[in-house]
Amino acid sequence: MLIVQVLLGGITRLTGSGLSITEWKPIMGVLPPLNEMQWQHAFDGYQKIAQYKYINHHFTLQDFKLIFFWEWFHRLWARLIGFVFLIPFVYFIIKKNIQRWMITPLVVLFLLGGLQGFLGWIMVKSGLNDEDLYVNHIRLAVHFIAAMVLISYALVFGLMLIIKDSEKIIAVKLKPYSAWLLLVITIQLLYGSFMAGLKGAIAAPTWPDINGMFIPKEMFQTSISNSLFFNIINIHFIHRTLAYLVLIMTIVWYLQARKITNSARFNQFKKWPLIFVLVQVVLGIAAVLNSPHINIGHFGIFETIAQIHQLTGMLVLLSFVANFYLMKSKESNFS
Model confidence pLDDT, tens digit, residues 244-253: 999 999 999 9
Q: Decide if pLDDT at 298 tops 80.
A: no
Q: Which of 136, 162, 188 is a domain's end point?
A: 162
Task: Give yes or no: residues 6 and 133 share one domain.
Answer: yes
Residue 323 in contact with residue 154, Cβ under 8 Å?
A: no
Element (H, E) at 135: none
pLDDT for 80 equals: 95
What percentage of the chain has pLDDT greater than the value 90?
Answer: 76
Task: Give yes or no: residues 75 and 88 share one domain.
Answer: yes
pLDDT for 335 equals: 43
Confidence of residue 297 (pLDDT cuts 50, 70, 90): low
Q: Is the pTM of this model over 0.85?
A: yes
Residues 124 and 24: their CA atoms lie apart, in Å, by 10
Q: Which domain holds residue 282?
A: 165-335
Task: Give yes or no: residues 35 and 146 share one domain.
Answer: yes
Q: Which of 128, 162, 196 is a domain's end point?
A: 162
Task: Give yes or no: residues 121 and 191 share one domain.
Answer: no
In the predicted model, what is the mean pLDDT of residues 47-75?
92
In the predicted model, what is the mean pLDDT of residues 316-333?
85
pLDDT for 282 equals: 97
Task: Give yes or no: residues 68 and 175 share one domain.
Answer: no
Task: Give yes or no: residues 157 and 173 share one domain.
Answer: no
pLDDT for 296 equals: 62
Residues 60 and 216: their CA atoms lie apart, in Å, by 41
User: What is the Cβ-side half-sphere exposure of residue 84, based on CA atoms within 13 angstroms?
Assistant: 9
Q: Decide if pLDDT at 332 tops 80.
A: no
Q: Which of 107, 141, 162 is a domain's end point?
A: 162
Four-point Cα dihedral 179, 181, 187, 188, nearest 10: -150
In the predicted model, what is the mean pLDDT of residues 263-283?
96
In the predicted model, what is the mean pLDDT of residues 34-61?
92
Task: Give yes or no: residues 297 and 185 share one domain.
Answer: yes
Confidence of residue 29 (pLDDT cuts 50, 70, 90): confident
In the predicted model, what is the mean pLDDT of residues 86-96?
93
pLDDT for 270 equals: 95
Q: Decide if pLDDT at 21 tops 60.
A: yes
Confidence of residue 15 (pLDDT cuts 50, 70, 90): confident
In the predicted model, what is the mean pLDDT of residues 38-60?
92
pLDDT for 28 equals: 67
Task: Give yes or no: residues 236 and 180 share one domain.
Answer: yes
Greater confidence (193 vs 23) lies with 193
Task: Give yes or no: residues 9 and 119 share one domain.
Answer: yes
Task: Give yes or no: residues 225 and 139 share one domain.
Answer: no
Element (H, E) at 246: helix 232-257
Closest CA to 50 of 118, 135, 115: 135
Task: Give yes or no: residues 37 and 116 share one domain.
Answer: yes
Residues 79 and 153: their CA atoms lie apart, in Å, by 19
Task: Give yes or no: residues 98 and 16 share one domain.
Answer: yes
Question: What does pLDDT average to over the chain?
Answer: 91
Confidence of residue 334 (pLDDT cuts 50, 70, 90): very low
Q: How many structural domains are present in the chain?
A: 2
Q: Decide if pLDDT at 320 tops 50.
A: yes
